[in-house]
């Protein structure tokens, strides 16, 4: 079993897995929803995300995953929770201002985004504020239900112009 | 120009009016000068005004820091309100470290009501940089969320929730840029995103490395960013090689090349202050020649008295219309 760094440095592989999982889940979800009790589905999803994404990405369970738009690197590992790129405090060795022994999440994210195919370049998208109410819920279910795409009314207003 | 911020009757503020004077200066094509006010550890307004006389005469805008370096000082909203009341042109620095989105929007409205027209939207230094590292860090928003939210309040006349504002704030919106830290080859992309989120002017981190800054500006120009935003380069005098060492090792995001530190180290003790000012003036003269640079932002921490001299020696002093 390779360590998670091995996977993290293969963003093309990870984006493929993401795209495949998304397609499969979108296909299967209507059926799952019909046969399984909602509470049970939620628990299974939360548990499997904690295990799989926890291992692969050090997932913080924000419930609104944007990994494919951030070089398959979890932005919630940034101590400042930045969703739109690195702060101005990055050290000259490329490490984090807050945790000196940790490489800056966003330096890694930008490098990996440049290696990606399908979703490469999405790192330039302006990400909306985090919905803190979704903390510890399943990002996959929020995606399938369209919950993670909901934005504050004011935020969406400007995009309609 | 009449001062639009005077009090009319017993403690009642005039309704805010007028637009950003900093913006007017930049739009007129002048080379703008802003400076940083050292927010006092005091409850006395006199301590805010103490350094202002010198800065006010040579600056088009004065920044009030928001708990810089994660150390507590008088709040930036209060410093800006006091400056506006006295006829200065304040630039409100607002970071995301200490307030959630509810407090941010409330402070933006309050600041606008008190006469603040310029807002510099920042992420903010982490709590661990300051003298109360045990504090909770907030970071509900990042700097781009803050920028876009201020833009929404101004242009759409609503809060983020969609609730309508009776009178929207008039803001000239700014953001920071730090071309001097990794990933240096991609920093222009962050600038582009900030412009997309609503930034109209930029004040950069301290520039002590002109070649790195030039490379950044070249990439920014290739994207046409220099035509979309007013960019003010951060500069500041170093008092000694010890001050330089302290800044580059302790202040997050400050990069000072060895050559600059060595130059100060080689200067005899009595001449160090002068040498620091000379380096600062040289940097201003160099960045002024770079296409897309619209001004400088002078951060002379505890050396405010040096600012007028720097401005004059760098040849960027301009007759100001008396406000």
**Separation between Cα atoms, residue A93 and residue A79, nearest integer Å:** 18
pLDDT of residue B37: 95
Residue B177 pairs in a beta bridge with B204
CATH code for the domain in which residue B90 is found? 3.20.20.220
**Separation between Cα atoms, residue A138 and residue A44, nearest integer Å:** 9
Identify which of B308, B299, B286 has the alpha carbon closest to the alpha carbon of residue B91.
B299
Residue B266 forms part of a structural domain? no
Residue B311 forms part of a structural domain? no
- Subunit contact B96:A79, Cβ cutoff 8 A: no
pLDDT of residue A159: 60
Largest CA distance in chain A: 54
List of chain B residues with pLDDT < 50: 1-11, 322-323
Residue A97 CB-half CA count within 13 A: 29
Residue B171 forms part of a structural domain? yes
Residue A56 CA: distances (Å) to CA of A3, A9, A17, A113, B174: 9, 11, 12, 16, 37
Domain count within chain B: 1
Range of the domain at A102: 4-159
Residue B79 forms part of a structural domain? yes
Residue B53 forms part of a structural domain? yes
pLDDT of residue B10: 42
List of chain A residues with pLDDT < 50: none
**Separation between Cα atoms, residue B90 and residue B116, nearest integer Å:** 6
pLDDT of residue B17: 59
For residue B319, how far is the Cα from the chain centroid?
22
Q: Which of A85, A94, A108 to mutate to test the interface with B (most CBs of B within 10 A)?
A: A85
Domain count within chain A: 1
Chain A residue numbers with beta carbons less than 8 Å from the beta carbon of B169 are: none
**Separation between Cα atoms, residue B157 and residue B155, nearest integer Å:** 6
Cβ contact B181:A90 at 8 Å: yes
- Subunit contact B140:A129, Cβ cutoff 8 A: yes
pLDDT of residue A1: 58
Shortest CA distance from B256: residue in chain A: A92
A157: distance to nearest CA of chain B, Å?
A: 8
**Separation between Cα atoms, residue B229 and residue A135, nearest integer Å:** 36
Residue B315 forms part of a structural domain? no
Chain A residue numbers with beta carbons less than 8 Å from the beta carbon of B186 are: 110
pLDDT of residue A4: 87
- Subunit contact A153:B197, Cβ cutoff 8 A: no
Alpha-carbon dihedral B194, B195, B201, B205, rounded to 10 degrees: 30
**Assigned token pair, B221:** 């120009």
pLDDT of residue B166: 98
CA angle A101/A93/B282 to nearest 5° reads 140
Q: Which residues, 6+ apart, have CB-to-CB distance to B294 below 8 Å? A: B26, B31, B32, B201, B230, B231, B232
Cβ contact B244:B209 at 8 Å: no
Asked if B251 reaches chain A (Cβ–Cβ under 8 Å), the answer is no
CA angle A134/A139/A144 to nearest 5° reads 110
Count contacts between A and B (CB, < 8 Å).
Answer: 121
ipTM of the complex: 0.95
pLDDT of residue B18: 76
Asked if B41 reaches chain A (Cβ–Cβ under 8 Å), the answer is no
Range of the domain at B48: 7-236+290-305
pLDDT of residue B3: 47
**Separation between Cα atoms, residue B202 and residue B206, nearest integer Å:** 13
**Separation between Cα atoms, residue B273 and residue B226, nearest integer Å:** 34
Q: What is the pLDDT of residues B296-311, one digit of tens each?
A: 999 998 899 999 999 9
Q: Which of residues 171-210 of B touch A (CB under 8 A)?
A: 176-178, 181-183, 186, 189-190, 192-193, 196-197, 205
């Amino acid at each position: 079993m390779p360590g998670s760094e091995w996977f993290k440095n293969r963003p093309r592989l990870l984006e493929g897995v993401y795209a495949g999982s998304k397609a499969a889940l979108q296909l299967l979800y209507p059926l799952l929803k019909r046969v399984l009790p909602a509470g049970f589905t939620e628990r299974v999803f939360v548990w499997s995300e904690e295990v799989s994404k926890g291992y692969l990405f050090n997932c913080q369970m924000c419930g609104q995953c944007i990994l494919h738009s951030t070089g398959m690197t979890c932005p919630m590992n940034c101590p400042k929770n930045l969703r739109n790129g690195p702060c101005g405090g990055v050290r000259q060795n490329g490490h984090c201002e807050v945790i000196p022994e940790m490489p800056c999440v966003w330096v890694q994210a930008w490098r990996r985004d440049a290696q990606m195919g399908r979703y490469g370049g999405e790192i330039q998208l302006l990400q909306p504020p985090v919905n803190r109410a979704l903390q510890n819920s399943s990002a996959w279910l929020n995606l399938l239900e369209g919950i993670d795409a909901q934005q504050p009314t004011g935020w969406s207003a400007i995009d309609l112009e | 120009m009449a001062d639009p911020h005077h009090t009319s009757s017993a403690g009642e503020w005039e309704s805010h009016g007028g637009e950003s004077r900093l913006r007017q200066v930049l739009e007129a094509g002048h080379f703008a000068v802003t400076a940083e006010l050292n927010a006092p550890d005091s409850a006395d307004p006199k301590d805010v005004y103490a350094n202002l006389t010198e800065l006010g005469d040579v600056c088009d805008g004065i920044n009030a820091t928001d708990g810089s370096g994660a150390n507590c000082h008088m709040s930036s909203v209060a410093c800006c309100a006091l400056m506006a009341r006295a006829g200065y042109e304040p630039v409100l620095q607002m970071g995301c470290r200490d307030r959630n989105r509810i407090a941010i929007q409330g402070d933006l409205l309050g600041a606008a009501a008190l006469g603040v027209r310029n807002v510099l939207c920042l992420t903010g230094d982490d709590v661990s940089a300051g003298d109360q590292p045990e504090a909770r860090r907030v970071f509900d928003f990042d700097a781009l969320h803050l920028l876009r939210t201020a833009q929404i309040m101004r242009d759409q006349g609503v809060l983020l929730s969609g609730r309508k504002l009776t009178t929207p704030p008039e803001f000239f919106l700014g953001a920071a840029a730090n071309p001097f830290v990794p990933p240096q080859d991609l920093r222009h992309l962050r600038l582009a995103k900030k412009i997309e989120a609503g930034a109209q002017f930029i004040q950069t981190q301290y520039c002590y490395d002109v070649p790195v800054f030039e490379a950044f500006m070249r990439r920014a120009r290739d994207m046409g960013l220099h035509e979309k935003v007013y960019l003010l380069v951060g500069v500041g005098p170093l008092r000694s090689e010890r001050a330089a060492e302290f800044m580059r090792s302790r202040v997050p995001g400050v990069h000072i090349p060895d050559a600059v530190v060595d130059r100060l180290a080689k200067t005899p003790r009595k001449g160090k202050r002068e040498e620091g000012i000379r380096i600062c003036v040289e940097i201003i003269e160099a960045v002024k020649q770079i296409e897309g640079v619209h001004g400088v932002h002078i951060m002379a921490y505890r050396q405010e008295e040096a600012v007028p001299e720097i401005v004059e020696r760098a040849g960027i002093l301009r007759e100001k219309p008396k406000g």
